[in-house]
Structure 1
């Protein structure tokens, strides 16, 4: 977020905390995409993603007067979204692995070759996403949330700890444990050191 966006966010936040719904709608527009990505990575291809994001913003609106600015607004929103998703994951264990028939995965179109898209490559990518998604779904909610925030959303361990409400060292351990488990599940897809690299410090 650049300086202008940050200034706009601060202005919108100040107004929203005073009860200005239009200002809060502006904050929703600024952060909606990030929360959708976070919820999708936590819940997989579940149809609950939109509901989870909507619930997150409803909770944020209700709690906004108590937001004290000690954490960044984005971190605070991530924490709400992660908690909503974890509650849904714990209460609903019917996670199905994504497959090539998943309507959310890209499908080859009749014009694919005309625009330079290889339908076979698209199918292979869909299968790969399915494998990775299925592997993520085998992780416990606490491990998966750490993976999503650090490895997929690019947060540092400290930022993820703030969002998850746990210590930085706990996040580091969860990432280490998740990498170990994913490496076993995806060993045929990745180079030996691929899962050992990356992640915020």
Structure 2
């Protein structure tokens, strides 16, 4: 399960290393932008939305898995951020501050829609037969991580698998494995207990690992059939 956690973080996050020089320039730009925001510069507000809106929407989509809800969360996040500008002391980067706000806004959206029927996670968990043996192909499980890392479209596949998790499990997985909150912080964010977080995280990792392995097996089978078809065509010619 820990291996699955590292795999998720590696594939879902799209972090590119920055040089110290570029970081310093970015900090200077953010300080200048923050000063303009506090002065009520409308162009600065527009620049913030243009610069950070896309990444904030991508974050909201991970949590909410619904375009309208994600857009609402981003709008609320910007509104909350602009209202709280005087409370932001600049200790963190502006982008980091906005990211935290949109995560919180997404959690609020999730809580507001809990009245909807909750999807069960059991169909997504590993399957066993009456003798306690794995139903899925053991060879597929053993090679899954290496295969996934080698695929060019791995990140998108993992994201699709995460989207298939029920809300409460997907949310815990994202907070712990992507946002890197500890168990207590996650529990506070979700207004639940630390033990509940641990149980949901374990089940979410189990389900995600199983989904990734099943999708990898399907993609591998499709690829093998395509190669076989190509060889048959070449032989016929």
State the TM-score, normalizing by the size of structure 1: 0.58
Bigger CA radius of gyration: 2
Supply the distance in 2 between the matched residues of 1:48 and 1:67 (Cα, whole angstroms). 26
Mapping of 1:118-129 within 5 angstroms?
none
User: Does the 8 Å contact 1:82/1:164 carry over to 2?
Assistant: no
Unmatched runs of 5 consecutive residues or more in structure 2: 1-17, 120-154, 214-237
Matched with 1:52 is 73
Which residues of structure 1 form unaligned runs of 5+?
98-124, 192-201
Match among 83, 92, 114 for residue 62 of structure 1? 83
Shift of 1:64: 0.7
Greater relative contact order: 1 or 2 (C-alpha under 8 angstroms, separation 6 or more)? 2
Contact 2:161 2:212 in 1 (8 A): no
8 Å contact 1:56–1:80 — kept in the other structure? yes
1:29 is paired with a residue whose SS is helix
C-alpha offsets along residues 130-171 of structure 1, whole Å, 9 cap, x if unaligned?
543121524174x14514xx43xxx5558xx6x9987xxx99
Structure 2 partner of 1:186: 208
How large is the RMSD of aligned CA atoms in angstroms? 3.7
Distance 1:5 1:95, change over 3 A: farther
Report if aligned partners of 2:158, 2:212 keep a CA contact under 8 Å in 1. no
How do residues 8-19 of structure 1 correspond to structure 2 at under 5 angstroms?
8-19=29-40
Residue from 142, 146, 168 that aligns with 2:175? 146
- Match in the other structure for 2:95: 74
Q: How far apart in 1 are the matches of 2:35 and 2:53?
A: 19
**Structure number with higher helix proportion:** 2
Shift of 1:37: 1.1
For residue 190 of structure 1, report the CA deviation from its aligned partner.
Answer: 4.0
* In 2: Cα distance, 1:184 partner to 1:16 partner: 44
Matches within 5 A, 1:35-184: 35-93=56-114, 94=116, 130-135=160-165, 137-139=167-169, 141=171, 143-147=172-176, 150-151=177-178, 157=181, 179-184=201-206
**Counterpart in the other structure of 1:27:** 48
Paired residues in the alignment total: 150
Shift of 1:189: 3.4
Distance in 1 (alpha carbons) for counterparts of 2:187 and 2:162: 23
